Amino acid sequence: MKAVKFFILAGLLTGLSACELLQPDDIINPNVSEDDFLNSPSMQSWVNGTNKVFAVAVGSFAELTELLSDNYFNNYTQSSKVFDIPIIEYTDVDVTALQSYIANLRESADYGLHTVAKIDTATTNRHLFNLYYIKGYAYLLAGEYFLALPVEAGGEVKEWKTQLTMAVDTFRKAMEYAGGKEDRAFINTLIARAYHKAGDKDSAVNYAGKALECSPDFVKNVEFDGEKGVTNAIQTHIYSTHFQPLPRLDFLDPKYFESTRLEQRPICIAKAEEPYLILAEAALSENNTEKAKQQLKELLALVAVRPVATGINDQLETRGESATRKYPNSSAYKIAASPDESFRENLVLDRQPPHLISIPCISGTSVDTAMIDNAPSVDTLLEIVYLMRQEIFFAEGRRASDLGIRLPVCEIEAANQPSSSAPYIQAQIPGFIPLEKGMDDFVMDEDAKTVVIKHNMNKTIVKNKTSEHVIPFF
C-alpha cells in the first residue's frame, strides 16, 4: 500500500457520509490493501470516510481554537492548558494535530477526486461536490489559522494568502457540481468568507450577495454520530464543567448539549448570517452607516427565527464552584464588557435545580434593534458587527481568527522543509492581545451580583482596525 494513503485508508472505510452511516456489518477489514480497495466499488465508502475525517477535524478545530480566544477558558485538566494564556509553540502537539487535520483533509479529498473517481464508474456529481468542498475547506482553515502550510504532500510551505486563493479556486470547482440553490448559497458563502479574510472587499461583497440571492436562510452543518464513536470534540468539554464561557456569553452555552446519552450535536460550517456580516462591514468601510444598520437589522430578523432548544438540563454545571475559577451562575448577575462600560442584564442563565435552560442551536445574539439604531458612529457599529460575529459564530472555531491569531508551522514540518518553514515557526499573536489569560479575566462581586470583564476584545479589535491582523476591510 502506498505510504501516502496508509494513514487514512482504514478510517475512511468505516466513516460517515453527509446523509448516512455505514452499518457495523459494512465495516471492511482495516488491513485491506489499496489495490483490494480500488478493485471494489469504492467511491461511496471513500466519501463516507472523508466526511468522517472532516467531522473530527472541524470538532477539534472548534475545541482548540475557542481556547485561543476570549470565548472559553479551560477550567479543567483536559485539552490544552496553554492556548488560554495564549502560548503557541511550534513544538506543541496540538499545533501538530491541527496541521495534520488539514493535510489529511486535503490528501483524502484529492485521492478520492483523482484516483478513486477514475476507477469507480458509480461516482456521481454529489460525490465530487462533497470532496471538492472538503478540499477547499482544508485550504480555508489553513488560510484563516496558520501563517503558512504546504499545499501538497511533501511540498514547500506557502503563506496564508496563497492558501485562501487555493480555497477560492477549489470552491469554484465544487460549484461546478452543486446540486441546487442551497449548495450554491453554501459555496458562495465560503468564497465570500475567504475573500473577506484576504481583504478583497469587492469580491467578498459580490459573493455574499450571490449567497443571499440563492438562499437567505441556508445552514450547512457537519454531522457526528455518537453510536459509532464519531464525536464532537468540543461538545465533550462545554456540556461538562471543563470549558467555561466568558460571562457575557453565558446565554449561548452550551451550544452543543446532550438530550440523550449518545447525542452528538452538529457544528455549523456555513450559514446565511455570514453574508450579512460581511456586507455590513463593507458598508462601514465606506462610512455608510445607514446601509450597515439595514444589513444588521435584516440579520437580526434572521437570527430571531433560528431554532432555540428548550428544556435543556444543564443542572450539573457548577460554573467552576470546585475548579480554579468561579463563574456567575444566576440570572441576577449583571455584566459589564469592560471596567468603563455599563452593566447589561439577561446575559447569564439560571441553571441550578429546578431550572431548565433554552439555548440557540444555530445563532443567537444579545444585540437588539435599539443598540443598532442608537449606535452613533462607524466604530460603534463596527464593534456591534464584531460582537455579533462573536455571538453568532460562538463555539464554531471562528473567534481566534477574528482576533488575528495565527498558528506556526509545526516542528515536524519545519524539520522536513527547513528553508521554506523558517519564517513561520513563531506564532502570530498581535500586540494588542492581552497575555497571561487576560482575555478570560473578570472581577465578580457575589454580593452585588455583578461581573466586570477586564477586556472588551470587540472594542480592542475596533481600536486596532487599521492593523493588518484584524478587520480586513479597513
| 469 or 40: which leads in pLDDT | 469
Long-range contacts of 175-182 (CB under 8 A, 24+ apart): 177/125, 177/126, 177/128, 177/129, 177/132, 178/129, 179/125, 179/126, 179/129, 181/214, 181/215, 181/218, 182/214, 182/215, 182/218, 182/220
Reading the block at residue 425, the C-alpha cell is 515557526
Interatomic CA distance for residues 400 and 322, integer angstroms: 28
262-309, pLDDT tens digit by residue? 999 999 999 999 999 999 999 999 999 999 999 999 999 999 999 999
Count the residues in the chain. Answer: 474
Quick one: pLDDT at residue 30? 55
Radius of gyration of the chain, Cα coordinates, nearest whole angstrom: 22
Quick one: pLDDT at residue 174? 98
Using alpha carbons, list the distances in angstroms from residue 129 to 19, 58, 116, 124. 14, 18, 14, 9
Quick one: pLDDT at residue 5? 43
Strand 243-245 with 450-453, pairing: unpaired
Quick one: pLDDT at residue 3? 34
262-271, pLDDT tens digit by residue? 999 999 999 9
Cα-Cα-Cα-Cα dihedral sign, residues 185, 222, 61, 6: negative
> Is 70 exceeded by the pLDDT of residue 211?
yes
Q: Which of 110, 206, 200, 207 is nearest to 164 (CA)?
A: 200
Quick one: pLDDT at residue 21? 29
The DSSP bridge partners found for residue 444 are 451
What ranges do the domains of the chain cover? 3-235+247-318+356-433+458-463
- pTM of the model as a whole: 0.93
- In degrees, rounded to 5, the angle at the alpha carbon of residue 61 between the alpha carbons of residues 58 and 63 is 110
Reading the block at residue 49, the C-alpha cell is 470516510
> Is 50 exceeded by the pLDDT of residue 23?
no
Mean pLDDT of the chain: 92
DSSP state of 69: S
- Three-state SS at 406: strand
Interatomic CA distance for residues 287 and 227, integer angstroms: 51
Reading the block at residue 241, the C-alpha cell is 464543567
Interatomic CA distance for residues 388 and 366, integer angstroms: 8
Residue 19 pLDDT class (50, 70, 90 cuts): very low
Is there a contact between 273 and 303 (Cβ–Cβ < 8 Å)? Answer: yes
Is there a contact between 283 and 291 (Cβ–Cβ < 8 Å)? Answer: yes
**Other beta carbons less than 10 A from residue 117's beta carbon:** 18
66-79, pLDDT tens digit by residue? 999 999 999 998 99
Quick one: pLDDT at residue 309? 97
Strand 267-271 with 308-312, pairing: unpaired
| 18 or 39: which leads in pLDDT | 39
For the domain with range 3-235+247-318+356-433+458-463, which CATH number is right: 1.25.40.390, 3.40.50.720, 3.40.50.620, 1.25.40.10?
1.25.40.390
Quick one: pLDDT at residue 2? 37
| 3 or 246: which leads in pLDDT | 246
> Is 60 exceeded by the pLDDT of residue 6?
no
Q: Which of 366, 330, 358 is nearest to 450 (CA)?
A: 330
Reading the block at residue 187, the C-alpha cell is 459555496
Is there a contact between 149 and 102 (Cβ–Cβ < 8 Å)? Answer: yes
SS (H, E, C) 201-265: HHHHHHHHHHHHHHCCCCEEEECCEHHHCECCHHHHHHCCCCEEECHHHHHHCCCCCCCCCCCCC
Residue 37 pLDDT class (50, 70, 90 cuts): low
> Is 60 exceeded by the pLDDT of residue 25?
no
Comparing 5-14, 42-51, 234-243, which segment has the lowest mean pLDDT? 5-14
Ramachandran region of residue 79, left (φ > 0), alpha (ψ -120 to 50) or beta?
A: left
Residue 98 pLDDT class (50, 70, 90 cuts): very high
Percent of the chain at pLDDT exceeding 70: 92
306-358, pLDDT tens digit by residue? 999 999 999 999 998 878 899 999 999 999 999 999 999 999 999 999 999 99
Query: Rounded mean pLDDT of 454-464?
Result: 98
